[in-house]
Amino acid sequence: MSRFLNGVTLAATIGLLAFTAQAEPKLGLGRAATPDEVAAWDIDIRPDGQGLPEGRGTVAEGEEIFAEQCAVCHGDFGEGVDRWPVLAGGQGTLSSHDPVKTIGSYWPYLSTVWDYVHRAMPFGNAQSLTNDQVYAITAYLLYVNDVVTEDDFELSKDNFTEVRLPNEANFFMDDRLETERPSPAEVCMTNCKPDVKITKRATVIDVTPEGEGDEEASAEGSMEAETEMAQADPAPAPAPAAVAPAVVAIDADLAAKGEKVFKKCKSCHQVGEGAKNKIGPILTDIVGGPVGGVADFKYSDIFQEKAAEGVVWTMENLDAYLTKPKDWAPKTKMSFNGLRKEKDRAAVIEYLKAASQ
């Protein structure tokens, strides 16, 4: 019986192969790709720079292109709009419970940035950018992530491989097929403790299960939990009273120029009547006001510290902050790299002065 089945199987296989061999030339499907078609698909860029085309672009050029083509989704400084991806910031967050994975905090290779922008962006109009434009946008993304610090930096095929992203060293080839990894520590699944006692209770909602003999633990645990909560979340120090700015003459022409420069800030901040807190606090009445003094806005730790110290937004502090926010307020969450031109800072401050009177 087995010989018969094997014979049938063998005959069927031979017949199928014969049918395939006869039928294949008659299908008439497909043709060899032309050189132009191959070139259109062969656009990947490798970490060693293989595949990079000729071209160049500066941070300043990239900022203009980014504002026109990319900011509607990613924000003027890569901070992200609504649910669109954040492209900048996140340094030091990868080990936290809420990591922010951006080009500057997580991505391993600059070639991935160039390749993705070239291949898939702008959304809905992919591969419409020239090579020079892609180089310029990539340079700007390096700038807003503090990988490069000069606004006149130019990225090109010549210096591309010299740029290293901060997280490159934490990526490595997956060699698990050849290398045995140590097993994780043994995890206890049953009978891990001789007995279980309730020592604390949730103070917000009653979610701790009831049991015999836990009344004392309930009262003691609630008090202990409340104490811990008070220690973990101390009442915020009251914001220092605002220093009413003196009424001074406003340079209307300079303020008008500042309003144009302030467009760089509008994705995060609002001023004027009806202004609301967005990603950043409202800036109405900021000149002469206390640092960290806007109600109902959750400031980062550095601003809470400065608020507790009674620091005020003087003209000097505003100028220093606008020059390089991360120097004046280390570990600020704001991804904006600052205004390097003194005339731009003066114009924005004049515009904010006009909004503070």
The answer to whether 271 touches 350, Cβ cutoff 8 Å, is: no
Which is higher by pLDDT, 163 or 18?
163
Instruction: Say whether both 303 and 260 belong to one domain.
Output: yes
pLDDT of residue 235: 52
The alpha carbon of 282 is separated from its chain's Cα centroid by a whole number of angstroms, namely: 22
Instruction: Say whether both 106 and 64 belong to one domain.
Output: yes
User: Is residue 1 assigned to a domain?
Assistant: no
User: Is residue 4 assigned to a domain?
Assistant: no
Instruction: Say whether both 47 and 166 belong to one domain.
Output: yes
Residues 101-142: tens digit of each pLDDT: 999 999 999 999 999 999 999 988 999 999 999 999 999 999
The pLDDT-based confidence of 28 (bands split at 50, 70, 90) is confident
Residue 76 burial (CB count, 10 A): 21
pLDDT of residue 77: 86
Q: For residue 22, give both structure tokens.
A: 């006869």
Name the β-bridge partners of 56: 156
Name the β-bridge partners of 156: 56
Instruction: Say whether both 283 and 350 belong to one domain.
Output: yes
Instruction: Say whether both 56 and 143 belong to one domain.
Output: yes
Which is higher by pLDDT, 226 or 167?
167
User: Is residue 301 assigned to a domain?
Assistant: yes
Residues 290-344: tens digit of each pLDDT: 999 898 888 888 888 999 999 999 989 999 999 888 889 887 777 676 787 888 8
User: Is residue 98 assigned to a domain?
Assistant: yes
The closest alpha carbon to 297, from 270, 259, 262, 337, belongs to: 270
User: Is residue 282 assigned to a domain?
Assistant: yes
Instruction: Say whether both 222 and 308 belong to one domain.
Output: no
Instruction: Say whether both 220 and 256 belong to one domain.
Output: no
Domain residues for 225?
195-231
User: Is residue 207 assigned to a domain?
Assistant: yes
CATH number at residue 316: 1.10.760.10
Question: Rounded to whole angstroms, how far apart are CA atoms 345 and 357?
Answer: 19
User: Is residue 238 assigned to a domain?
Assistant: no
Q: How many domains does the chain have?
A: 3
Q: Which residues, other chains included, contact 286 with Cβ-Cβ below 8 Å and sequence gap of 6+?
A: 313, 318, 352, 355, 356
pTM score of the predicted model: 0.51
Name the β-bridge partners of 290: 312
Instruction: Say whether both 46 and 166 belong to one domain.
Output: yes
Instruction: Say whether both 202 and 165 belong to one domain.
Output: no
Name the amino acid, one letter, at 17: L
The answer to whether 57 touches 134, Cβ cutoff 8 Å, is: yes
Instruction: Say whether both 219 and 268 belong to one domain.
Output: no
Residues 61-95: tens digit of each pLDDT: 999 999 999 988 998 889 888 889 999 999 989 99
- pLDDT of residue 208 exceeding 60, the answer is no
The answer to whether 131 touches 123, Cβ cutoff 8 Å, is: no
Question: Rounded to whole angstroms, how far apart are CA atoms 283 and 292?
Answer: 11
Instruction: Say whether both 259 and 311 belong to one domain.
Output: yes
User: Is residue 63 assigned to a domain?
Assistant: yes
Instruction: Say whether both 111 and 218 belong to one domain.
Output: no
pLDDT of residue 49: 93
